[in-house]
Amino acid sequence: MSEKEKSSRGNASQFFIAGELCRRGYAAVVTLGNTPNTDILCSNIAGTRFVHIQVKTFVPGNRTCSVGMKSEKDFGPNFFWALGGIPKPNTNANFEYYIIPSSVMAKKVVEGNQLWLKSPGVKGQKHKDNAIRIVYLPPYKSAYSDFDLRKYRDRWDLIEQKLRA
């Protein structure tokens, strides 16, 4: 996948997620890269409650989604990760969305990375830490984590609970 295609898919994911929130009656704006930890800022219509959403994009059917090191930080109760599965054009794949609270993402990613670092590599070597952090997409599972994303599929209600006045 070219860098341009990856960027376009990421942008599309942000707009699809913001569009779904607008469809549900909320005000959602894409920050267009102007805020380092917030891709979408969403509020109730009154503007009295807000959530921040960090979006990561994947192609449905892929085994993993890269989330990076910032996924290890709990940004607080009004911060969510939205993993957007955006199908390639001219396919019959469905869109997939996983809505994950920041606290859950941080805990599970840290646990998984720590276990991976303690485990020997394929040739028995010690794993070296790096900036890559990934989560496994259903139905796939990691040998280093019990993080099961299935319970976060289409969990828009987690965001909506924070926005109700």
pLDDT bin (cut points 50, 70, 90) of residue 5 is confident
Domains defined along the chain, listed by start = 3-163 (3.40.1350.10)
- Does residue 155 register a pLDDT over 80? yes
Residue 165 or 96, more confident: 96
Mean pLDDT of 95-122: 95
pLDDT bin (cut points 50, 70, 90) of residue 165 is low
- Does residue 3 register a pLDDT over 80? no
Contacts by 141-147, CB closer than 8 A, 24 or more apart: 142/112, 143/119, 144/112, 144/113, 144/115, 144/116, 144/119, 145/108, 145/111, 145/112, 145/115, 146/108, 147/108, 147/109, 147/111, 147/112
Query: What local confidence, expressed as pLDDT, does residue 146 receive?
Result: 92
